[in-house]
């Protein structure tokens, strides 16, 4: 099995990733979210302030994980995100797929509020290329992550 490198931007080092239940669910439900895209994680590290932390992890699949992977935005992905954002709790260890970023968020909200139909949703997001995220939902999945270190990053106003 091949080891891959993942990143998570935050305001502090995260040596021991956790799955936290919060007030609002995210794209793929509650979990620990990472990305393979270092540049995206770098940007999210300081979005809430001037200084942030880019955390780096290695990931080695143990071969026993229940993984759901969306290669692209499609109807199955949209319905899954909608369910998770409304509280659906799935039984996957890891979910990987496009993230609902700022360029897509408004359209997702409009669609699930029945203010636009599915066809209009897809017309609006057709040219969007969101970063791919991996969300870890179980301790078995988290155990496949190894903290490799972190670095402080400074935003444009830092």
Alpha-carbon 61 to chain mean position: 18
pTM metric for this prediction: 0.91
Task: Confirm if 63 and 86 have CB atoms less than 8 A apart.
Answer: no
Torsion of Cα atoms, 57 then 3 then 71 then 115, to 10°: -10
pLDDT band at 46, cuts 50/70/90? confident
What region does 87 belong to: left with phi over 0, alpha with psi -120 to 50, or beta?
left
Task: Confirm if 32 and 6 have CB atoms less than 8 A apart.
Answer: no
User: What local confidence, expressed as pLDDT, does residue 129 receive?
Assistant: 87
3-state secondary structure of 10: strand
Start-end of H helices in the chain: 38-45, 75-85, 102-112, 118-125, 139-142
How many domains does the chain contain in total?
A: 1
User: What local confidence, expressed as pLDDT, does residue 15 receive?
Assistant: 96
% of the chain at pLDDT higher than 70: 95
Range of the domain at 67: 4-154
Task: Confirm if 93 and 143 have CB atoms less than 8 A apart.
Answer: no
Asked if pLDDT for residue 157 goes beyond 80, the answer is no
């Amino acid at each position: 099995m091949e080891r891959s490198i993942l990143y998570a931007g935050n305001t502090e080092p995260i040596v021991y990733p956790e799955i936290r239940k919060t007030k609002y669910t995210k794209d793929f439900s509650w979990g620990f979210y990472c990305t393979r895209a270092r540049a995206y994680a770098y940007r999210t590290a300081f979005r809430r302030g001037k200084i942030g932390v880019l955390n780096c992890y290695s990931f080695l699949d143990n071969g026993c994980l229940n993984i759901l992977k969306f290669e692209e935005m499609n109807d199955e992905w949209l319905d899954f995100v909608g369910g998770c954002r409304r509280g659906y709790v799935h039984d996957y260890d890891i979910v990987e797929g496009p993230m609902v970023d700022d360029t897509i968020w408004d359209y997702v909200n409009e669609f699930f509020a029945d203010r636009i139909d599915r066809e209009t949703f897809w017309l609006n997001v057709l040219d969007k290329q969101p970063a791919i995220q991996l969300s870890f939902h179980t301790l078995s999945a988290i155990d496949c992550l190894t903290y490799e270190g972190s670095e402080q990053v400074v935003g444009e106003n830092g």
